[in-house]
Amino acid sequence: MPQTDFSPQPFTVRTDQAVLDDLGDRLRRTRWTDQIPGTQWEYGTDLAYLRDLCEYWADGFDWRAAEVRINRWPHVLTTVDGTPVHAIHARSPHPGAVPLLLIHGWPGSVIEFLDVIDRLVDPPAHGGDPGEAFHVVCPSLPGYGWSGPTREGGWHIRRVADALVELMAQLGYPRFAAQGGDWGGIAASLLGAHHPDRLLAIHLNLVLAPPPDEATMAVLSAPERAALEKVVRFTETETGYQAIQGTKPQTLAHGLADSPAGLAGWIVEKFRAWSDCDGDVEKAISRDDLLTNITTYWVTGTIGSSVRLYRESMRAGLFGPPDRPVTVPTGVAVFPREIVTPPRRCVEAHYDLRYWNELPRGGHFAALEQPELFAEDVRAFFRLLRGGAHELG
């Protein structure tokens, strides 16, 4: 377990105006590439969409308003295992609130959770039960946002998960629950596998499980086979970014750290491809939310250290399901446009699965796309546990 370097200190998100002025200048001076006439997103991010987005970023988007929104809740900054760790720490006023760690992934950030924090911290304000409240902690992963950049190698996802255990201890939560998607789903699963004494339960909207053995393959239903085929299609058509970020992230980082248009093009393509948007990303995620997330990477200078997580984790053999069974109670929310979801029986073989719910809409960025559905699903899973024999106190 990493040693505590110092106690968490209050923190406020505030960007130097010179950084914002430079951002606007770079956007207005972008040297745009060409695009084959008649094409749109077939080869990657559409030029016309990206130019329009960047024009708005330069002259319409209000980062100062975004900072006010981000700073609505208390923030802390501490040091864990030699690196800065930032988190939103929103305590509930309701008795019996359960400590809940919300863990983001790439290319997301704590911005994904801004519309679900209140729903979880203060359920009565949204028509819910005060007995279903949470103390919410939303950390920026080491190397991401205000937790970065990291300054040394070896920050793979297992080390990230261990650091989050120490963060929660510093905040006064010796036992807690965790929720995650993308890297957050992998981190939450590792917490359940390696820190069962600290974890009350985990809720995942991206779950990874070992592939079925021959005997299981023989009895898979048609929908389960379709789920496996979806994994194959994703691997064949949507993992080029993994190959780059998992092998030569520094080469990529030089361009993305210098060009905000390049950064936006790299990130927004994933939000479009992985969200439940029918090809129009802003049907699922507002333009201001997209740019709040992208600007977070820009003003903190963390795109390079964020993508290094892929190389570090792949080299350590940690890019996949946890290396041992998850023995804490597990709930899974299946959003229809999630990038991959293994068959339920594969998950049951590797997790203590107590809850499996298939949602009507939403994609990979579930909390950002469908905050109401997301928050209700988290409450529903823990409602099941609170009402049973499993102790959440």
At residue 386, the pLDDT reads 87
* CA trace torsion 252, 256, 259, 265 (10° rounding): 100
Tell whether the model's pLDDT for residue 375 goes beyond 50: yes
Please check whether residue 143 is in contact with residue 106, taking contact to mean a CB–CB distance below 8 angstroms: no
Q: Is 21 an annotated catalytic residue?
A: no
Average pLDDT value for residue range 13-36: 98
| pLDDT of res. 324 | 96
What pLDDT does residue 216 have? 86
Query: Range with the lowest mean pLDDT among 66-70, 169-173, 345-349?
Result: 345-349
Span 214-226, average pLDDT: 88
Tokens of 339: 């990038």
Give the model's confidence band at 1: pLDDT under 50 very low, under 70 low, under 90 confident, else very high: very low
Q: In the 8-state DSSP scheme, what is residue 8? A: E
Inter-residue contact 137 to 87 (CB < 8 Å)? yes
Dist CA 38 CA 309 (whole Å): 36
pLDDT mean across residues, the chain: 95
Work out the percent of the chain whose per-residue pLDDT is above 90.
90
What gap in Å lies between CA 310 and CA 343, rounded to an integer? 25
* CA torsion angle 360 361 367 372 (round to 10): -60
**Share of residues in the chain with pLDDT > 70 (%):** 97
Question: Among residues 310, 351, 355, 377, which one is catalytic?
Answer: 310
Catalytic residue at 104? no
Active site residue 364: yes
Measured CA angle at 96 (ends 93, 102), to 5 deg: 75
Backbone angles phi, psi at 224, to 5 degrees: -70, -40
Is the confidence at residue 230, as pLDDT, over 70? yes
pLDDT at 392: 62
Q: Which of 89, 194, 364, 377 is catalytic?
A: 364
In angstroms, the CA 161 to CA 184 distance is: 9
90-94, 225-229, 360-364: least confident range = 225-229
Q: Which fold has domain 4-386?
A: Rossmann fold (3.40.50)
pLDDT, average across residues 49-55: 98
The pLDDT of residue 261 is: 98
CA distances from 165 to 4, 25, 101, 103, 105 (A): 11, 41, 10, 12, 17
Tokens encoding 193: 């596998």
Q: Which residue reads 């060409």 in tokens?
A: 34
Q: How far apart are the first and last CA of the chain?
A: 23
Q: Domains of the chain: which residue ranges?
A: 4-386
Task: Say yes or no to pLDDT of 388 above 80.
Answer: no
| Per-residue model confidence as pLDDT tens digits over 273-327 | 999 999 999 999 999 999 999 999 999 999 999 999 999 999 999 999 999 999 9
Confidence band for 227, pLDDT divided at 50, 70 and 90: confident
Q: Which of the residues 115, 122, 182, 289 is marked catalytic?
A: 182
Q: What is the pLDDT of residue 275?
A: 98
Cα–Cα distance for residue pair 155/185, rounded to 1 Å: 17
Residue 232, pLDDT > 90, answer no
CB-side neighbour CA atoms (13 Å) of 182: 23
How many of the other CB atoms lie within 10 Å of CB of 317?
10
pLDDT at position 279: 97
Taking residues 175-188, report their average pLDDT: 98
Give the mean pLDDT of 260-278.
Answer: 98
Give the span between the Cα atoms of 29 and 259, in whole angstroms.
Answer: 10
188: pLDDT strictly greater than 90: yes
Mapping DSSP to helix (H, G, I), strand (E, B) and coil, where does residue 338 land? coil
pLDDT of residue 391: 52
* Res. 92: pLDDT tops 60: yes
